[in-house]
Structures are given as structure tokens and as C-alpha cells.
Amino acid sequence: MKLIDKIKDRVIRGHINANSRFPKDLTGKEGVEELVQKAIDEKISVGKILNEALISSMSVVGDKYETGEIFVPEMLFSAKAMKSGLALLKPFLIKENQKSIGTIIIGTIKGDMHDIGKNLVGMMLEGAGFEVIDLGVDITKEKFMDAAEKNPGSIIGMSALLTVTMKNMKEVVDAVKASDLGTKVIIGGAPVSEAFSNEIGADGYALNANQAVRVAKAVMGI
């Protein structure tokens, strides 16, 4: 099996590293950590590892969950495995000591605990020179507004992965519009679309982490 396919398989099966005891039949065998490190050492491009091994595996995990082949605990192991791989790629996505081009406050919206996509968006923004304030997951309108007040001129970037939580983004957009902060709001996440972004009056929508950088720069006029 090719290295990229092997990493993908290990994320799907939720095998973090050789010491992980899940799944049982892979204990003692290389997990995502060792294999991603191997891919880095073999100079496989970070973009290829990220897109073809890590991100694409999560769609397979989602499909398996949807069809009842796996359940929440297995999905959680896959998420942990994905995160362990992402952590190894982080230094390549972020350039140290560069001058900040602006501040962006990011968070996953109220009711939603998914943070892999939000973390990736944060890394790309940081890599592009933004100062990123990551509020975490399950972030209420009050927390977003508090951070925006403390950071004048910043952008708010919200992520949602559940159709039931994406509607909570409107509360934040409405609160920002009702204030005199002038904060711009950009949104993203699997169930979110350009049409939804227009509907709730956000200033920008991005399909993925690369687009998030372009959209954040555009709303800042740079």
C-alpha cells in the first residue's frame, strides 16, 4: 500500500501511533504519527499529506458513520488520529516571527464541538500572517462579542459542522451589526454555503482553509 493510502487507512481506522491500543489488530503497528513523519522525511509535499491523506479520510469516516458502519467512539478515534497528523504538519503551515497583517478571532459556533476544520483554518491564517485568537468550540454570541470589543479592527471567523448549529451564526452576525464595532464576519464549515452566508448577512464565506485566507484578506481590503 502506498504511504499516502496507508496514512488514510490509519486515520479512518483511528490508529494514532504504535502504542495506541485501538484498534486492537493494529497495536504495535505504525500509526498516523509515525506514517506522517515518514511522509515528511520522504519529502512528500505537505499539501499532498494534508489533502490526500488527512482531510480526505474524514469524508470516509463521515460516510461510515452515516451508514451505521461506525459510531461516535470510532469517529472520535479517527479525529484524534487526524489531529496527531495535523500537529506534525503545523510547523510547515506556519511561518514564525512574521509581522501581523491583522487579527482574526476564530471559534466554532455555540452547540458545536467540531474543531478540526476550524484549527486548520486557524493554522492557514497564521501562516498567512494573521494574528489568530482561537476561542475554541461551543462559542456563544457573548464570547465572540467580548473578544471583538477587546480587539478593535479584528475579523470574526466562525465555523459550523452541524446543520442544527449553523443557524446560531446569525445571532453573532446580528449582534455585530447592531454594535458600532464595524467588525467583519466570515463563516465556513461543511454545511455552510455562500447562499447561507448572504442570507444571514455575513461579510464573507470560504469553502476551505485556503479560501478562508483569501476571504479574510479581501474583507480587510488587502
Q: Which residues contact ligand B1M (rule: CB under 6 A)?
A: 55, 58-59, 61-62, 65-66, 72, 75-76, 79, 106, 111-118, 120-121, 157-159, 161-163, 186-191, 206, 208-209, 212
- In whole angstroms, the minimum distance from the beta carbon of 39 to ligand B1M comes to 18
- In whole angstroms, the minimum distance from the beta carbon of 75 to ligand B1M comes to 4
Residue 221: strand, helix, or coil: coil
Report CA-CA distances (Å) from 193 to 161, 174, 199, 209.
Answer: 12, 18, 10, 14
* Alpha carbons 195 and 7: distance in angstroms, whole number: 35
- In whole angstroms, the minimum distance from the beta carbon of 7 to ligand B1M comes to 14
Cell, residue 156: 470574526
Sign of the CA dihedral running 107, 91, 98, 188: negative
Q: Which is nearer to ligand B1M, 28 or 222 (CB)?
A: 222
The number of angstroms, rounded, from the C-alpha of 205 to the middle of its chain's C-alpha atoms is 14
- In whole angstroms, the minimum distance from the beta carbon of 76 to ligand B1M comes to 4
Q: Which is nearer to ligand B1M, 106 or 148 (CB)?
A: 106
Residues 3 and 38: beta-carbon distance below 8 Å:
yes
- In whole angstroms, the minimum distance from the beta carbon of 117 to ligand B1M comes to 2
Q: Which is nearer to ligand B1M, 17 or 56 (CB)?
A: 56
Q: Which is nearer to ligand B1M, 36 or 79 (CB)?
A: 79
- In whole angstroms, the minimum distance from the beta carbon of 201 to ligand B1M comes to 15
- Rounded to the nearest 10°, the torsion over CA 88, 89, 90, 92 is 130
* Alpha carbons 210 and 217: distance in angstroms, whole number: 11
Q: Which is nearer to ligand B1M, 35 or 161 (CB)?
A: 161
Q: Which is nearer to ligand B1M, 28 or 48 (CB)?
A: 48
Residues 79 and 116: beta-carbon distance below 8 Å:
yes
